[in-house]
Amino acid sequence: MPIWGKLKNLSSQFAELKTTVVASTYCNSWIFEALDPADPFRSMARAYSSIFICRSDDRKEQYIAEMVSKYRVDGILYHDSKTCPNNSNCRYELPQRMHKKTGKPFLIVHGDLNDLRLYSEEQTRTNIEAFVEQLAQG
């Protein structure tokens, strides 16, 4: 999930580090391609049950592994959002399982998507710099 109030700062940092975020599990959380106006109730159920946050951990792991492969990901960045834990994807040891499955290192950024009192810009900046350096050595 983006940290909306720090999107510019984070994107500038990634540009400075010559690195980028290439995939997200958050962006498709609000896309309901299965919605069919001719069958609204059944299609709403299909659409809602198919978004990432409503899927099983097995399906989440499969999707993330597919994105790692498709985009040749070097590492995985998770955002532990305090007010939206279901979209964080770093609970219940998902990062550890994905590391075991893909061999890719991970970083968990702590904060929130809107409440910037829960976010330390300096700590995050330092952690991202160290993570990117680790990826460059690997």
Number of alpha helices (DSSP H) and beta strands (DSSP E) in the chain:
5, 2
- Copy the structure tokens of residue 117: 């009192």
Instruction: Between 73 and 32, name the one with better pLDDT.
Output: 73
Contact 94, 60 (CB under 8 A): yes
Q: Give per-residue pLDDT as tens, 5-42.
A: 999 999 999 999 999 999 888 877 777 777 899 999 99
| 73 vs 54: CA distance, rounded Å | 24
First vs last C-alpha separation in the chain: 26
> What integer pLDDT is reported at residue 32 of this predicted model?
72
| 54 vs 100: CA distance, rounded Å | 23
